[in-house]
Structures are given as structure tokens and as C-alpha cells.
Structure 1
């Protein structure tokens, strides 16, 4: 059989394709080697950089979704020019960093790690060591929904694609400290239950005080929601009640089993903001409003202060709202007794939290100033200032403080726009050797 000659034009096309494929392979190999060299800090131009392998592993350069990856501290200490307190900026990268919402736990039960969320790898959760401020990525993948930390057990809970996952956070953090993280997240996860069809968490969730069930709210329509719970032992999902509103910001009472609180969400001033749901041992449900507000009150940002008290804010930032008492309020949910703290200037207080012993509270104003309030003497001291430079309005693009007092009552954790659009910062609630400025409005 006579061999056919390959046309020159075809040969050129074939040869170019070979060059392209070969070039791509070589380029890919080069990138792989370069990446490996960067990660391992190998010998370059005769110098061994192995002891600096951690240097390039910064958030600004990484930005990759790598489960369990660990980063060096990026914290920075700043002296507040107004109060004189040393502020600890826990995050300082170019990304958007924010603490967990104020009505849920922020720290692992042992207090050794703080958990937060960041945009640096498509909105993953990270844990920061309170010992050396090093950071480890603790979630991965898409659809990263809200993460609820355990009250006493070092676990975390997340509903993903209709499945409730229990996450062994303690084991992951221990493996991370020992550089032994299993790259498969399933190694640390246990499937607790699958939700019924068409039931999805869309209004917050709360871990029961006994840590044996999870409550959550689900929207059924524009003005319809339901409150459910998932039993960890049986995996059963129970609907407790339906309500003719958007139930949101659901949170559990950390100290009382079967008791939750949620808000009537409107995106603004709700007709009746705060609601309580109690489920007794027989499954009987009690549903009632907490702090029955009048039509001219704007209530917001409620949290449990202790087992019997909630603390919240009655807004006073508009002329029509200043015609009646406003400010930070505390309510005994057993007796309905209400205690009002004085209102702040510059538009009034916005968020609030209190220590469990009910001795101290912290409120903030729209300009990003945070104030410590003595609940016995009503004395107000400025802790730190200037964390929302473009205030005083709740509708600027700057971070909402959503501040939380640490369980031991020593630290105040908050979001700040002092350095970037949103960073996480921390100040001592009772700084030593600093005479805090008195406040008079």
C-alpha cells in the first residue's frame, strides 16, 4: 500500500497543536513546581528558605478554599486616641471579616478559640486561637450556612442542603495544632438528621440548653413561618407552631431547656418585635410576646442576658421616637419587670449586651463609639471610639458592632470599620491602669 504524504499545512496545524498541548503541560508543570516551591519554601538560588515556609501563607495571598489550612496571626494592637485603651484588631486583612451574630455563642466552650466568618475564601468560617491569634479554616465548599457553636461541648452545628450536621470542632482544632488535619471534612462530621421535604432553615437556629435538640425557624411564605426542632437521638423533626409573620433571629436560652426567642422581622420597625416560645416536657407550647411595645416604639437587637433576663434596645434616632422613653432596656421574662437605662446622645444606643451577673452592660452609637454601663450605679464610661467614621446613621455601609461580652466577662468583641470595611476587634471590659472618660450627654 502506497503511503500518503501529509500536506504541509496539515503538518503545521498538527505541530502547532503539539506545541500548544506540550506548552500547556509544561506551563502546568511549572505552576505546580512553583506552587510546591512556594508552599515548601525550597532552596532558591542557593538559599534554603525552609524555615520561612509560613511567611507566604497569609490571608491576602491565599484566598483559597483549603479545609484546615492554618494562618499566622494578623492581629494588631492600637491605642484608642480617645479612651486610652489598647484595642486588639484581631483581623487586619483586605477582606470582609465579621463576628457571629450577637445572639449566638462566639467562642468555643473552653474559651480557647474564637469563631468568625470571612470573605477571604468564599465566605468560610475560621477559628482564631486566643493564645497566639493564629487562624484555621474550619469549613469548606459552597452553601456554607450559619454555624452554631456548642454551649458546653466543643461541637458545631450546621444545616446544609436539608441535612443537619454535627461537626467535631474540638478534634479538628486539635489536629490543626498538631498539623494532622484530615483533608476530608466528612472525617469530622456526623449526620444527625435529614429535614422533611421543602422544610428549610430560613430564620435562624438555636441549640437547646441540654444540647440534645436544635430549634429553627422556616419561612412558609411572605407572611408565614413555622418553628421546628430536631431531636438529636431520634433524628425526628417536630413542628411546634406556625406564626403569621417572618420569624427571624431565632435564639435559644443557654440556661433554660425548651425556651427560645425570635423576632418579627420586617427589615425595619416591627409591630411587635420580640416573641418567646417555650416547649415543656410534654410538648406543650407557650407562645407570647415579650416586652409588649406600643405603636411608637422601635425595638431591636434582643439577646438573653441570663436565664431570666433579656436585654434589648428601644431606638431613639428619629424625632418621632424621642417623644417617649428609649434606650437600652432589660426585662425579667419571668415577672415582666422592665428596667430602663438612660439613652445615649448622637442618635441613641443601637446594640446591647450584658454580663451574666447583670452588673455591666455595653451599648454602642451609630458613630461607632462603645460605652460600658454600670447597671447598679448607671455610670457610663467610653471604652473605644470611631469604629463607624461616617455615622451617625444606621444605613451607612460601615460595620454594625453586634458586640458580645465574653462568657468570663473580661472582653468585648465587636465589628469595626476603623481600618477596613469590616474587621473584628476586642477591648478589655475593665482595662487596668486606664482612667476611662466619663460620659455626660
Structure 2
């Protein structure tokens, strides 16, 4: 009888732990960077499996007060942290898959969830109601906060790589090879895997769903693997995506309109260029990294062959496998590149003097700042008017479970990163805010 009671209370505790609206106490702590002296505002400090949403998507809710992040502290559910108070609130119940999409015109959160069979549900959460009831300590059933926008058919092979349109009336998501092939000209050559990670083979594609009616429309099919789907949150119906190989692609960046028109390479690259981590930063601009992370063997006049054709990945210094081809060296211009979607002009906003070069990049929507990290997990701020570069913080441990992934807020005054600086196991990440220095914000 005693064991039965214990099991009952154990199950009860698990159910309560998984409930939407559950509150977690503040862990907020401000630490000065040991090298730069800049304040690092850690919103989480425990080792609880925290990580940011990918930099291709907004991180803050529309009111600018909460950041949504992934964590294991609530059985893998999504969490919000109030930037001012540090209080955390669980914002999903029942799990999610793929990207967390924060609306910027309303307090809504969108994501995918696996349904029956191979179906995928597009879910909407009313964050305003969740936060209000959580603060009162009077949560309602999950149905009071959550809505199913629509469900995909199993044969579509839909996945959680998803983006919310600027009009916030539809989402875009990746589809499987069979569904993509149905909409592709049979005369188009299907691309094979590229590089040592055996990724990139096509076909791939994107579909959309009207989140008010559930109507699904095909957007585009291409002969290669699609990844990093993102919308231009300032310009309705405009998408950016990539040819995903896990490294160098023959042509990494692509753009297309929601009706399937205008498909083209965003930045036509050469075989010696290693282009990666593209992100829409304003109505007309996309930032990306042109990597300069590979050494040259002067004797052979070719990249140093670090490995054989068999992939041996180095998580601290990736991309060194010889069979990526002749790319990623500093024989040609490299750095944080910004491409104009309208004029198609590209500029290099900045580059580190040595090391891997800027790797994951972002920029403020007003065109003032750009930001990037490197292989050492250091973070650099760039004044786009003067080209001045400042290291904001460093020492976030090369052994971290993931990379820094900087993302500006909508005002361009602060940057969210994920950091292992406080990690006891040298891997666990925490959510951290770095403000643009006041003296830089005062510049005209």
C-alpha cells in the first residue's frame, strides 16, 4: 500500500511539473566579463539544459519583456524568462518539435507538435493569458491557452523547421523528399550529398499553412536539401533558406517569395567561398559569414589536408576535413558579409585579424550594428558606420555544448547569447544578455 501511495504522488508531481504556467524562481545574476569588463546579464545560471532559439528567429516576445528558450528543467518544454525580474514560466505543455516562432505583432507563440501517425500539428499559444494566469497562480486547462491551427498530412513529411510570416497569418515549413518531388520538374537534376557529412541530397521543399484556416499551399521545391527556413519579418511573403550540407555548400543561400516566384541564389558564391549562417536582419538586408577558418599549405598551394576522406569532426574547430574542397581560406575576402535583398550588393562589415573569423552573425534592424562570434566563443560588436570592432565578451568555453549564436533585440540595444561561462561541466549553456555599450549607443 505504501509503495502504491508513493507511486501516486510521484505521478502527481510529474503532472504538476509539466503543466503550462508553472513558475520557476529567478536565477538572474550579473557578472563582469573577466577580459572586457562588460556586464554579462545571466538570466539562467543552473545547469538545466538551456539553449536559445536559432538566431534566424526573434528571441523576445512582442512586448520586449520575455525571452523564449529551450530547456530541460521542465521535461523538455519551452520556457519564458522575464528579462527584468528573472522569473521563468513554462509556456508549452505536451512537447514541441523544431523551431519556436515568436510573433512580433501579438503575444503568440507558434511551433510544431507531433500528432497521430506522421501528422504534424501547427500549434498556437496565447502567451499573454499564460503569463497573466501564472502570476495569479490560477491556471486553467491547457485548452484555454493552446490552439491547433491545422494539421499536415503524413505523406507531406513536414518537419519543425518553421517560420512565421511578417503578416502573421501563415507559417512556412520544410517538407519531405517525396512531397517535394511531386512539385519538381522531372527534368531537373537531383543533387547528391555534398561533403563529408553526407548531407545535402535533394529534393527538398517548403510549404505554408494559413494559421487561421489551416489551408496548406506549396511554396517551392528545389533539387537539394532545404534548411534554416526563415521569413523576412519586415516584408510579408519573403523567405530565405539554405542548401544544408552541415558545412560548405555549392550554393548556400537562397531566397523565394511565398507564391513560389523569385527563386534565386541570395548571394551567388564561388567554390572557394565558405558561406554559412545567413540571417535576415532588416527589411532589406541579410547577414552571413564568409568563413576564413582554414589554413593554407603554401608548398601545395592548397588547403592543408587535416583528415582523410573519412569524416573526423572536430567540434572545437569544425570544417577542417580535407574533403570539403578548396574553400574557407583567407586567400580571398572573408568576414561578416551583409547582402541587400533589393540591390543585391554585398559589403564586408568586418573580420577578425586571425583565428576562425566571424562565424555566427547578426545585425540590428536600424543598420547601426553587426555582431558575430568565432571559434573561441568570443563575441564582437561592429559599428557599421565607422567599421570599428569591439570585443564584448570572451571565455565561453570552446567545449560548450553549442555555439554562442548572438541575436539582437528589435531595438538594436542588446544581444542575447548562450554561454557556458558558468558551466561546471564545461558544456552546459545558460541564457545571457549583453547590452550594446552606452558610449556606442550615444553615437549619432
TM-score range normalised by the length of the shorter chain = 0.7 to 0.9
Match of 2:165 in 1: 208
**How far 1:106 moved relative to its partner?**
0.5
Q: Choose the corresponding residue for 2:214, options 227, 232, 235.
A: 235
Match of 1:67 in 2: 20
Is contact 1:225–1:244 with CA below 8 Å preserved after alignment?
yes
Is contact 2:50–2:431 with CA below 8 Å preserved after alignment?
yes
Q: Choose the corresponding residue for 2:366, options 346, 350, 357.
A: 357
Q: Choose the corresponding residue for 1:407, options 405, 410, 419.
A: 410
Is contact 1:124–1:144 with CA below 8 Å preserved after alignment?
no
| Higher RCO structure, 1 or 2 (CA under 8 Å, sep 6+) | 2
- The alignment covers a number of residue pairs equal to 377
Q: Choose the corresponding residue for 2:48, options 74, 95, 100.
A: 95
The structure-2 alpha-carbon separation of the partners of 1:87 and 1:272, relative to structure 1 and needing over 3 Å to count, comes to same
1:147 aligned counterpart, secondary structure: strand
The structure-2 alpha-carbon separation of the partners of 1:338 and 1:136, relative to structure 1 and needing over 3 Å to count, comes to same
Is contact 1:103–1:303 with CA below 8 Å preserved after alignment?
yes
Match of 1:299 in 2: 275
**How far 1:176 moved relative to its partner?**
1.1
Q: Choose the corresponding residue for 2:346, options 324, 338, 353.
A: 338
**How far 1:431 moved relative to its partner?**
3.9
Decide which moves more: 145-154 or 110-119: 145-154
Superposition pairs of residues 85-234 of structure 1, within 5 angstroms = 85-161=38-114, 162-182=120-140, 184-202=141-159, 204-220=161-177, 222-234=201-213
d(CA) in 2 for partners of 1:300 and 1:252?
17
Match of 2:419 in 1: 416
**How far 1:432 moved relative to its partner?**
5.9
| 5+ residue gaps, structure 1 | 1-21, 40-60, 391-395, 435-441
Is contact 1:80–1:86 with CA below 8 Å preserved after alignment?
yes
Deviations along 1:386-409, one digit per CA (max 9) or x if unpaired, are 112x3xxxxx55430111011122
Q: Does residue 383 of structure 1 match 2:392? A: yes
Match of 2:433 in 1: 426
Superposition RMSD on alpha carbons, in Å? 2.4
TM-score, structure 1 as length reference: 0.80
Decide which moves more: 89-98 or 232-241: 232-241
Superposition pairs of residues 236-385 of structure 1, within 5 angstroms = 236-279=215-258, 283=259, 285-319=261-295, 320=303, 321-344=329-352, 345-385=354-394
The structure-2 alpha-carbon separation of the partners of 1:66 and 1:190, relative to structure 1 and needing over 3 Å to count, comes to closer
Displaced runs of 4 or more, over 6 A = none
Superposition pairs of residues 2-13 of structure 1, within 5 angstroms = none
1:348 aligned counterpart, secondary structure: coil
Match of 2:34 in 1: 81
Match of 2:182 in 1: none
Is contact 1:63–1:120 with CA below 8 Å preserved after alignment?
no
The structure-2 alpha-carbon separation of the partners of 1:223 and 1:130, relative to structure 1 and needing over 3 Å to count, comes to same
The structure-2 alpha-carbon separation of the partners of 1:123 and 1:203, relative to structure 1 and needing over 3 Å to count, comes to closer
TM-score, structure 2 as length reference: 0.80
The structure-2 alpha-carbon separation of the partners of 1:63 and 1:337, relative to structure 1 and needing over 3 Å to count, comes to farther
Decide which moves more: 157-166 or 239-248: 157-166
d(CA) in 2 for partners of 1:63 and 1:262?
39
| 5+ residue gaps, structure 2 | 115-119, 179-200, 296-302, 304-328
d(CA) in 2 for partners of 1:197 and 1:358?
42
Is contact 2:152–2:158 with CA below 8 Å preserved after alignment?
no
**How far 1:238 moved relative to its partner?**
0.7
**How far 1:131 moved relative to its partner?**
2.2
The structure-2 alpha-carbon separation of the partners of 1:284 and 1:249, relative to structure 1 and needing over 3 Å to count, comes to closer
The structure-2 alpha-carbon separation of the partners of 1:23 and 1:358, relative to structure 1 and needing over 3 Å to count, comes to closer
**How far 1:28 moved relative to its partner?**
5.7
The structure-2 alpha-carbon separation of the partners of 1:129 and 1:143, relative to structure 1 and needing over 3 Å to count, comes to closer
d(CA) in 2 for partners of 1:324 and 1:284?
34
Is contact 1:219–1:247 with CA below 8 Å preserved after alignment?
no
